[in-house]
Amino acid sequence: MAKLSDLGEKSVISRLLEIFDPDGLRSMGDDCAILDRGDDYLLVTTDMIYEKTHIPKGSAPGDVGWYAAAINLSDIAAMGGTPLGMLFAFGLPRDTDPEWLDSLVSGIQECCSQHNAPVIGGDTKENDSVTISGTAIGTVRKSQMLRRSGARPGDIVAMTGRLGRGVLWDRDRGNTRFLLRIEPRVKEGLHLASSGAVTSCIDMSDGLSTSLHHLARSGKVGFEVDLDRIPMMDGLDRKGKLKALHSGGDYELLFTVNPKKIADIPGSAGNTPITHIGRVTEKGVTMTVDGKTECLADEGYEHFGKGWS
């Protein structure tokens, strides 16, 4: 009998899409679900974290709460949306310290308050391991919404921030606060959406390589990026930089820009740097390394047993 571990997360998602959206009419392949409200769209997204796979031992509950909120708000950011509110469902062991829960909720509240996304409800159940599921709701003007599809050959590939957060933490096994306190690029997403220059966008929750392949499939195009142009965290050697291409946890925005409108995308959005790292091609996902072009495989993390592919 086949198991989910024989398939991997991507195949599981494909099976679910075939059931829930066989004709592709519900646009379920984006970072958020989209509901038509006339002049704008309502954006809805959900993401879940589980103790074994997402919460390193020794993590402060406030940082865990921040992370649970931030990863959902990152999806709203990827579509150029304005957050409206959030809901949370908690699965908690019965011996959980109430003060731990208080700190967890404080971290959630801190992140949500920073992005004007009040917590508006949720649910709590007993569970063997800590499991937190968040749902973020946002809105975006129809004319400004960013999607995974839309890139065209000749477009410029760009990204916010830097890669390598997870690689640095995994190497040093240091402060979990550094790993979990990711910053959802909500303001940056709004800036990109209002520019009218961005043709596609995704948040890099599962790594640059996986994100490029997502955009390639959605837009039916290819990508070529240059390793030396990709901004990385300080302290990474060559091996670390190559690993960072596939490591998740950075939650930066990866997007494409119409070259005729590139002047409308400055070198930064607020205090966040924006870097041009490549271009959109007809097909294939490749990377230039030391002047040579090679295939960039989709090697991001997959749940259900495959891990790092």
At 259-302, the pLDDT tens digits run: 999 999 988 887 899 999 999 999 999 999 988 999 999 987 66
Q: What is the pLDDT of residues 113-123, one digit of tens each?
A: 999 999 999 99
Fold of the domain built from segment(s) 31-143: 60s Ribosomal Protein L30; Chain: A; (3.30.1330)
Single pTM value for the model: 0.92
CA 75 to CA 66: how far, in whole Å?
15
The answer to whether 187 and 271 are in contact (CB under 8 A) is no
Q: What is the pLDDT of residues 166-213, one digit of tens each?
A: 999 888 777 899 999 999 999 999 999 999 999 999 999 989 999 999
For residue 90, give Cα distances in angstroms to 57, 196, 271, 282, 290: 19, 39, 34, 45, 48
Instruction: Go through 82-106 and write b for each residue having 16 or more CB atoms within 10 A of its CB, e for each that does not.
Output: bbbebbbbbbbeeeeeeeebebbbe
CA 281 to CA 264: how far, in whole Å?
22
CA 17 to CA 28: how far, in whole Å?
7
CATH value of 146-299 in 3.90.650.10, 3.40.50.20, 3.40.50.970, 2.40.30.10: 3.90.650.10
Element (DSSP H or E) covering residue 212: helix 208-219
CA 193 to CA 7: how far, in whole Å?
35
Non-local CB neighbours of 95 within 8 Å, separated by 6+ positions:
none
Q: What is the pLDDT of residues 56-106, one digit of tens each?
A: 999 999 999 999 999 999 999 999 999 999 999 999 999 999 999 999 999
Res 308: pLDDT: 41
Domain boundaries defined on the chain? 31-143, 146-299
